[in-house]
Amino acid sequence: MNILVLVSGNGSNLQALIDAEKSGRCSEGGRESGGMRIAAVVSDKAGVFALQRANNAGIPAITETPDKSLPREERQRELSDRILRIAGKYNAGLIVLAGFLSILRGNIVKAYSGRIINLHPSLLPDFGGEGMYGDRVHRAVLASGKKESGCTVHLVDGGTDTGPVLLQRRVPVLPGDSAESLAARIHREEHIAIVDAVIRFPELSAL
C-alpha cells in the first residue's frame, strides 16, 4: 500500500517510518496488506527538516503551503484539495499525519474516510482539539496535575483530534517534569506508535 506522509516540522516521526520501511518491517508486518511504502511526503511549511529527511531517503518531498489570502475554512479546504490531488497522483491508500499542523477539511476527508491517521501527543480525548499542539499540550497536562500522559494514533474524521482511536501508548508524568522532558518521553513512544499503527493499520482499522 502506498502511504502519503504529511509533515510540518522536524519529522522525527517520518524518520521512524522511513527507518521501519528500510529495515523491512513495513513489508513484513504489512504482508496481509501487500506491504507499505512511503510514496511521497508533503509539508505545509517550506524548508523544514522533514523535507530533507525525505530527500535523503529518495522519497519525493513536496511543499504545499496554505494560501494566506483566503479566509480560514476556505484556506484549509483549498490546501486539503491540493493534498487530495497529490494523494491521487501517488495512488495513496493511506494518509499519515506525522506532526502535520494544518487541518484537513472537505473532499479529502470524505474521499479518504477511514484511511487518514493522525498522531497526537496526548491520551485523547484529553488535551486535544483546536490550538492543542506541541508544547501547549504538555504544559496543559502538567498544569492539570495528571500522573499520566502519552500519545494517540487515531482516524481523522473532519473534527480536530476527534476520530476513533486506533492505539495509545502511555508514559508517566514524573515529579519535576518540564514540558520539554515530558515531550521527549512522549516523543520516544510516538516513534513506536506511528510505526505500529501503519504496520497494523489493516487490522486496527477493521476493529
Which residues does the annotation mark as catalytic?
A: 120
Radius of gyration of the chain (CA): 16
Q: Quickly count: other Cβ atoms within 10 Å of residue 180's Cβ.
A: 10
Classify the C-alpha dihedral 109-115-120-124 as positive or negative.
Answer: positive
Q: State yes or no: cis peptide before 125, omega within 30 of 0.
A: yes
12 binds ligand GRF (CB under 6 A): yes
98 binds ligand GRF (CB under 6 A): yes
Residue from 3, 4, 5, 13 touching ligand GRF (CB under 6 A): that is 13
Q: Which three cell numbers stand for residue 114?
A: 477511514
Closer by beta carbon to ligand GRF, 89 or else 170: 170
Closer by beta carbon to ligand GRF, 11 or else 66: 11
CA 170 to each of CA 25, 117, 124, 160, 183: distance values in angstroms, whole numbers, following the listed order = 23, 18, 11, 21, 12
150 binds ligand GRF (CB under 6 A): no
53 binds ligand GRF (CB under 6 A): no
119 binds ligand GRF (CB under 6 A): yes
Residue from 99, 128, 150, 163 touching ligand GRF (CB under 6 A): that is 99
30 binds ligand GRF (CB under 6 A): no
152 binds ligand GRF (CB under 6 A): no
CB of 69 to ligand GRF, least distance (A): 26
Q: Which three cell numbers stand for residue 186?
A: 512522549
Q: Answer left, alpha or beta for residue 74, where phi above 0 means left and psi between -120 and 50 means alpha.
A: alpha
Three-class SS string for 125-143? CCCCCCCCCCHHHHHHHHH
Closer by beta carbon to ligand GRF, 120 or else 154: 120
Closer by beta carbon to ligand GRF, 70 or else 184: 184
Where does this chain bind ligand GRF (CB under 6 A)? 9-14, 50, 98-99, 119-121, 133, 187, 190
